[in-house]
Amino acid sequence: MNEIIRHLLYSDAGSALNNYALLAFRVLLAFELFRVHGMKKFRLQNGQKEHVPNPLHLPDKLNGLVATFADTVVPFLMALGLFTRLAILPTISVTAIGYFFVHRKDSPEVRDVPYMYTLSLLLLLILGPGNYSIDVQFLYHLF
């Protein structure tokens, strides 16, 4: 079990420069995700909260909770590099569903946003957060 946890937490991009690049990529992606999509969850437009599409027909509260978690909490975990690979799974799900279901008939310009988020998050899932993260600096050494 410890070996699985170590594998999930360990991430080294091979050099200090690569690890700094991964840190910058992770933090900037998290900032943009929260700024653009997370902040919508707190704003009212025309007296109403943001409408979250529900193409999987989940219970409305569950659908809203997953979308809110993916756009508000996950960016902070991602920026810190805390349980990064596990934390980004809900956001990958939300963005991939947005691309494949919600925006499937939209123009390429509209589909581009969930596509790019999904690809970026998949890259982080594969590479991990890099050496400059809480996962590697603290948690990896506990296991």
How many angstroms separate the CA atoms of 118 and 120, rounded? 6
Q: Is the pLDDT of residue 16 over 90?
A: yes
| pTM strictly above 0.85 | yes
Q: Is the pLDDT of residue 95 over 90?
A: yes
Q: What percent of the chain has pLDDT over 70?
A: 99
Contact 59, 112 (CB under 8 A): no
What lies within 8 Å, CB to CB, of 68 at 6+ separation is: 41
